[in-house]
A and B are shown apart, each in its own frame.
Chain A
Amino acid sequence: MKHRKMKLSVLVLALATIAVVGGCKKKQVPAAPPAAPPPPAPKATLSVSPESIDRGASATLTWSTQDATNVSIEGIGSVQPSGSKSVSPSTSTTYRLTATGAGGSVDATARLTVVEPPPPPSQPQAEAAPSDEALFAQSAKDIYFDYDRYDLRAEDKAAIEADAAFFKAHPSMKFTIEGHCDERGSTDYNMALGDNRANAARSALIQAGVPANQIRVISYGKEKPFCTESTESCWQQNRRAHFVYGQK
């Protein structure tokens, strides 16, 4: 009994800490109500290996879930709670797994990039190297932002450093940074905010030694969302600086 009480108070303390910390950091998230313990929210992970394939090749989707009664993957249908499956789509595909249980539902996504097979090589050594675009898709990691903010988060410093190292190693690779915002807020203001986000990523890359002429910046505001649901996880997906191969 005592042990249980102790456990409960630890839990309450943890919840309170989360609420306080969360309250300070992300103002838009309402504090979690300390109500009766809800059924555990389902958890889900989904990954694809490799993340990029040539057209015609196949990749393996692997997923696992907890506390879910109903698990499905868009385009595949209902699946076992955990498992793996070989896929071979003809175009780049985002797989979305939805796990539903007593505690709600949760989504997990994985992106498989399908690359046009390179034309028959005229030079024998071109055969082994993956295309620049595939390499870019594998290596350039998007940067995400807090609500109404355009400063880089501390936890993204490592990602931007990895991005910078990759771009510096491939100086011939021109690319575009797209600034995006979530659906809240006003159209015009979000265009400016998206611009600030893309430029924050650009400045960090230039500071890390990436030549400015390698980078182009464009803001889409909230005009081209990655995800269209009105949920925080979806909004977070949309608050980003997105790296795109090439310069239109």
Chain B
Amino acid sequence: MKRFAVLSVLLFALVLPAVSQDWIRTGTGVGGEKLRLAVPDFKIISADSRSAALDKAFNDVLFNDLRQSGIFEMVSKSFYPLGAIGGPADVHLDQWGTPPPKAAMLAFGSLGVNGESLQVQGWLFDVKNAQNPQVLAKQYRESATAENARRIAHRFADEIIFRLGGGVSGIAESKLYFISNRTGHKEVWAMDYDGAAQHPVTRLGSISLSPRVSPDNSRIAFSSFLKGGPNIAMWSLELSRLVNFPSFGGTTLSPAWSSDGSRIAFSSSRSGDPEIYVCDQYGNNLKRLTSVHGPDVSPVWNPKTNAQIAWVSGRSGLPQIFIMESDGTNVQRITDQGYAVSPSWSPNGQFLAFAWVRHYGPGAPGASDIYIMDVASRQWVQLTHDGGRNDFPSWSPDGRHIVYQSTRSGGEQIWSMLADGSQQTQLTFSGSNSQPNWSWK
């Protein structure tokens, strides 16, 4: 219990990194309560027949992005004063600042379709600051498609989250890469962070595993059976094709990018035993880091420093999480029991998320759940409790969310949650979907 309390404090510090500072600056609240945010539907200011559908797409995405961010308490739309709000002139702050809405912040605006262009104006008002309420005013113009309505909503949401979330960039425009068998083969797929726009990236007709996007979003490293045994394959998102990457022989898999994009760590059995190796981003300057018999897989870099690597080793029996310096020295085992796999290092370097069957063996039917551990103190907390096999956690770039795979709804599907285990949301529903990887920005 004590362990949980301590880690809760740590987690709180993670989820709200610099909110207190921000709150002093804007003078909108005190303490650790979430900011109450109201977002009335954007007012349609054009007669074009497409306006209503685009406005609905925009409003749904904006509200969902702000709700998913984990830093706001969204005021229910049923509490809002009557009357559409399309601009500052329509706002009566006293109606919003008092119950029932009792909002601290108000985001509003207008949407119009003019010829082929979609125009959105958005504002963010500090309800308590009657003298000078405007925090943000933004204008967007794109061609009039539903995709662009979604994109503009993501951008405006990210502006609000950046401004009110302690200067941490939002994730509304980030992507998730994962493996799906929907085409009959295990291929690399991509989708928006909220599960929208799911589409295949590769069409190789082989088995693809463990996709990892490069920090600059230009390439995806994954393991592929295309040339016989599993090897690292490199897909260019700019060229939409495989690009050259050397074959190391043996079973070579689970590539992981350093956060500066210059190096890749991976597992290879080229010596006859699976070990951890590091090479540069083009596959040159190969260096072996481990040399103990038994499976060694799934390396990840500490993205803050790129000076440490966490990985999974079966050298002591059932797989456990280990960490070492990125030159292979100072090896430490950090899980003490059970079956621990699939580490993911948080962007600030403080936490490892991983999948753990903590109690393993006869009489202890454990489930595989997602845990996070504070690397310095080795204190951990369990994030999933809802059954099924949960595996392959991956941190969002803001460090506030984790995407993972779970069988709790039947087959393997992708889910996301806040890094405190709340707001668990299923993102995929068809086929079998696994091994999600969150883009770096």
Contact = CB atoms under 8 A, between A and B. Distances in A.
B250 interface: yes
Contact of A191 (B209, B361, B368, B434): B209
B11 interface: no
Nearest to A185: B339
B297 A188 contact: yes
A196 interface: yes
Nearest to B227: A248
Interface stretch (B102-110, B268-276, B423-431): B268-276
Contacts of A202: 272
Contact of B362 (A27, A194, A219, A248): A27
B399 interface: no
Contact of A195 (B251, B318, B339): B251
B57 to A, nearest CB: 35
A32 B377 CA distance: 41
B314 A192 contact: yes
B206 to A, nearest CB: 10
Contacts of A189: 295, 297-298, 312, 314, 319, 341
Contacts of A187: 209-210, 391-392, 434-435
A241 interface: no
Nearest to A194: B251
Interface of A: 23, 27-31, 148, 150, 185-189, 191-196, 199, 202-203, 217-219, 223, 248
Contacts of B342: 186, 188
Classify chain B's interface size.
Answer: 35 or more
Contacts of B297: 188-189, 191-192
A191 B228 contact: no
A195 B274 contact: yes
B251 A219 contact: yes
Interface of B: 186, 207, 209-210, 223, 225, 228-230, 250-251, 253-254, 267, 269, 272-274, 294-298, 312, 314, 317-319, 339, 341-342, 355, 361-363, 368, 391-392, 434-435
Interface centre among A23, A191, A203 (most CB of B within 10 A): A191
Given A192-B296, A219-B229, A219-B230, A186 B391 contact: yes
23 contacts: A27-B362, A29-B362, A186-B342, A186-B368, A186-B391, A186-B392, A187-B391, A187-B435, A188-B267, A188-B341, A189-B314, A191-B223, A191-B253, A192-B251, A192-B296, A192-B314, A193-B295, A193-B314, A199-B269, A199-B273, A217-B229, A217-B250, A223-B207
Contacts of B207: 223
Given A27-B361, A187-B434, A218-B251, A192 B267 contact: yes
B314 A148 contact: yes
Contacts of B355: 186
A184 to B, nearest CB: 9
B392 to A, nearest CB: 8
Contacts, number: 99
Contact of B209 (A188, A203, A217): A188
Contact of A196 (B274, B298, B339): B274
Contacts of A188: 209-210, 253-254, 267, 297-298, 312, 341-342
Contacts of B339: 185
A195 B272 CA distance: 8
B341 A192 contact: no
Nearest to A218: B229
A178 B392 CA distance: 25
Q: Which 6 A-B pairs have the closest CB atoms?
A: A192-B295, A192-B274, A195-B251, A186-B341, A218-B229, A219-B251
A196 B273 contact: yes
Given A187-B210, A187-B435, A196-B274, 5 more contacts: A28-B362, A148-B318, A187-B392, A192-B251, A195-B274
Interface centre among A150, A192, A194, A196 (most CB of B within 10 A): A192
Nearest to B355: A186
Given A191-B297, A193-B295, A218 B312 contact: no
A185 B340 CA distance: 10
A32 to B, nearest CB: 11
Contacts of B223: 191
A30 B339 CA distance: 17
Contact of A31 (B273, B295, B362, B434): B362
A189 B298 CA distance: 8
A28 B363 CA distance: 9
B388 to A, nearest CB: 13
Contacts of A192: 251, 253, 267, 269, 274, 295-297, 314
B222 to A, nearest CB: 11
A196 B319 CA distance: 14
A199 B186 CA distance: 25
Contact of B228 (A27, A29, A203, A248): A248
A27 B365 CA distance: 12
A195 B269 contact: yes
A186 B294 CA distance: 16
A110 B95 CA distance: 78
B294 A196 contact: yes
Contacts of A194: 251
A191 B314 contact: no
